[in-house]
Amino acid sequence: MEVTARAPGKIILAGEHAVVHGYTAVASSIDLYTVFSIRLRSDDDTVKLKLNDIGLDFSWSVRRIKEVLSHLGSPFSSTPTSCSLETIKSLATLVDEQSFPETKIGLASGVYAFLWLYTSILGFKPATVTVSSELPVGAGLGSSAAYCVSLSAALLALSDSVKLDVSQKGWSTFNESEAELVNKWAFEGEKIIHGKPSGVDNSVSTFGNVIKFKSGVMTRVNSNMPLRMLITNTKVGRDTKALVANVSARKSRHPDAMCSVLNAIEAISDEWSTIIQSHAVDDLYLSANEEKLGELMEMNQGLLLSIGVSHASIENVLQTSMKYKLASKLTGAGGGGCVLTLLPTYISGEVIDKLVEELGSFGFQSFTAGIGGKGVQISFDHSS
């Protein structure tokens, strides 16, 4: 039997940077996915990992994994546990033996997370594992969280810790307690990759829809608006830590002004949350709400510009989308990365195509995505 899990990426709709200082942010799932498939094997004694999108394959003998990680003992799938520094060193040994390409070394932590989650949840069972993703890496769309969530979900589906109907066809979901277990394990994987993640990305990827986040407290929001975004990847790398530090420094230099800016950003986040929860009684009402969200995006972007996190590439997207009377804002850390453009229901496919083509002339990559959809899902294939 092969188990396949898919988990969505995420975008920050409002509140980036303000959230670091204790203000509200609103994040949403997008219908772009990372997919893990696992097939346990009885005809082999290796664990194979195939990263399809980057063309890397890894293979470890079960004997070698046991030898290096003998201190782990039996799997503990029902008890999400942090990876110790000692174990990280052991995982690095296993990865180093694979002659990891120097140009891809930044992805090594993802392989560490794979080995930790695999052995912790399933133990030392031979299997072939494949992963593919629609999410660009390092663009602020939650690719690592979707990786950890889909992996954790597929592993737990093969464990004794969740009870799923394996005869069901198509995609199915976890119940609330099972999803929470997936989320906790995914967070442990995120910690291996990022050190001190907030937990927002993996929570959005696990539960889907929309989440409000403030001072470490997450509140799930049920969106009732069928929104679509054009997501433009500027392909400009950014240093998130440096951007966050620069905002903090500006706040120290101008505490009163920055307090006003951050309060305004929080008001935008709160209004976003209120609008998307409202039920559209007719097309006119929906159109009016879309217009309000567009205005909020423009105001949010102006405030983000004022705190120093925009970039020339982002401004190119804003100016281009403005020609089509469409509202845009950066999402995530800024300084490059991705930009959101709200696509109202009235917009035609022809207009979108023209916009995508014009953005492409800058070397940007653009794609449409629905927001606020389902979280992690699972499916089973009994064919040989």
DSSP class of 83: P
208 and 373 Cβ atoms separated by less than 8 Å: yes
* C-alpha to C-alpha distance for 302 and 310, rounded to whole angstroms: 9
Q: Is residue 256 flagged as an active site residue?
A: no
Which pair of tokens denotes residue 329? 């804002």
365 and 230 Cβ atoms separated by less than 8 Å: no
**Which residue in the block uniquely carries the two structure tokens 């307090």?**
259
**Burial of 300 per CB tally in 10 Å (0-12, 13-18, 19+):** buried
Q: What stretches of 197-245 adopt beta strand conformation (E)? A: 210-214, 217-221, 228-233
Length of the chain equals: 384
Handedness of CA 64, 68, 69, 71 (dihedral sign): positive
* C-alpha to C-alpha distance for 83 and 116, rounded to whole angstroms: 7
* C-alpha to C-alpha distance for 265 and 17, rounded to whole angstroms: 9
Query: What is the CA angle 168-169-171, rounded to 5?
Result: 100
DSSP class of 175: -
Annotated catalytic residue within 201, 239, 256, 353: 201
Which pair of tokens denotes residue 43? 């005809």
Neighbours of 157 (CB within 10 A): 25
* C-alpha to C-alpha distance for 13 and 344, rounded to whole angstroms: 15
DSSP class of 161: S
Neighbours of 324 (CB within 10 A): 13
Which of the residues are catalytic? 201
